[in-house]
Structures are given as structure tokens and as C-alpha cells.
């Protein structure tokens, strides 16, 4: 039993199927503020990608108590997280929505034929109200899958 445990721990974490995909940085910046939406062309299809910060208390936006804070998302203690929504730009009605997910750092998100990975989400209070250089940072990437 000890030998098997040593083999498992020395082998490292199991491979994630998405690790073989070729990821490219998302054309987004946290300085654009939240919510934000942009078009993304991938695999010959145009998608609309929307990112919005969920906050349970308006004080996170308006209170001076948070004016100098930069929130590291997700922040379970405050109930703050980034929500990602993907839509087909050229479709209407129920067929338009590909999917929506809460973002977790370093966990691949599968939405239709795309995969997303977020490495860092830092959001200053000012960017919860709009664009500007307040110290926010967004490191995210996307890849196209075969399916």
C-alpha cells in the first residue's frame, strides 16, 4: 500500500484533457470595467462573451469603505465571483445561449466548442462602476475544442 501511495504522489496530478489544447489570451482587460462584453471569433464562429461580477451587497460598489480595495475573485467570504456567459452572435432566441458559468481560478470551463481558463481576477471597486486604471487585473485564455 505504501508503494502504491508513493507512486501516485510522485507521478503528480493527473493530466486534464484540456491541457493538450492550444490556449490564446482573451482580448479583455479588467480596466474596461464590469460588466463587459466583446466579440470573439473562434473556429470560424463569432461568439459574444460577457463577463460580470456578481456582488450580493451594493456597498461593494458605492461605499467608501471599499474604495481602496482590490478584490481577488472568487471571494467566497464576501460572496463575490465572476460570471462568464457565452452566446452565438448570429443566432437569436433560445439557440443563442451557449452557456454561463461561475469562474473558478485554474479550473477549465467548457462552454460549447470553447474552453476557458482564468489565472487571475483582481477587481478594484472603481472597475465595478466602469472603466479606468484602478489596479484591476484579468488573466484569462480560451481554446477551441473538436467538439
What 3-state DSSP class applies to 66? helix
> How many Å apart are CA 144 and CA 21, to the nearest integer?
7
> How many Å apart are CA 129 and CA 142, to the nearest integer?
26
Can you point out the beta strands (E) in the chain?
24-25, 36-42, 45-54, 70-72, 81-88, 97-102, 109-111, 114-124, 137-144
Whether pLDDT at 4 is above 90:
no
- What's this model's pTM, rounded to 2 decimal places? 0.85
Residue bearing the bigger pLDDT, 55 or 4: 55
> How many Å apart are CA 126 and CA 8, to the nearest integer?
46
> How many Å apart are CA 84 and CA 72, to the nearest integer?
16
Whether pLDDT at 5 is above 50:
no
Alpha carbon 65 to chain centroid, angstroms: 26
- pLDDT tens string 11-25: 555 556 667 899 999
Amino acid at each position: 500500500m505504501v508503494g502504491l501511495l508513493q507512486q501516485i504522489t510522485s507521478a503528480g496530478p493527473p493530466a486534464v484533457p484540456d491541457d493538450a489544447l492550444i490556449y490564446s489570451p482573451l482580448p479583455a482587460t479588467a480596466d474596461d470595467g464590469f460588466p463587459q462584453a466583446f466579440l470573439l471569433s473562434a473556429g470560424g464562429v463569432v461568439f459574444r462573451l460577457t463577463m460580470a461580477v456578481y456582488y450580493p451587497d451594493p456597498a461593494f460598489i458605492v461605499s467608501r469603505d471599499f474604495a481602496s480595495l482590490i478584490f481577488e475573485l472568487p471571494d467566497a467570504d464576501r460572496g463575490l465571483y465572476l460570471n462568464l456567459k457565452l452566446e452565438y452572435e448570429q443566432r437569436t432566441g433560445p439557440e443563442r445561449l451557449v452557456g454561463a458559468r461561475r469562474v473558478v481560478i485554474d479550473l477549465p470551463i467548457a462552454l460549447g466548442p470553447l474552453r476557458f481558463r482564468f489565472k487571475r481576477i483582481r477587481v478594484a471597486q472603481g472597475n465595478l462602476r466602469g472603466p479606468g486604471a484602478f489596479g484591476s487585473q484579468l488573466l484569462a485564455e480560451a481554446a477551441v475544442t473538436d467538439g
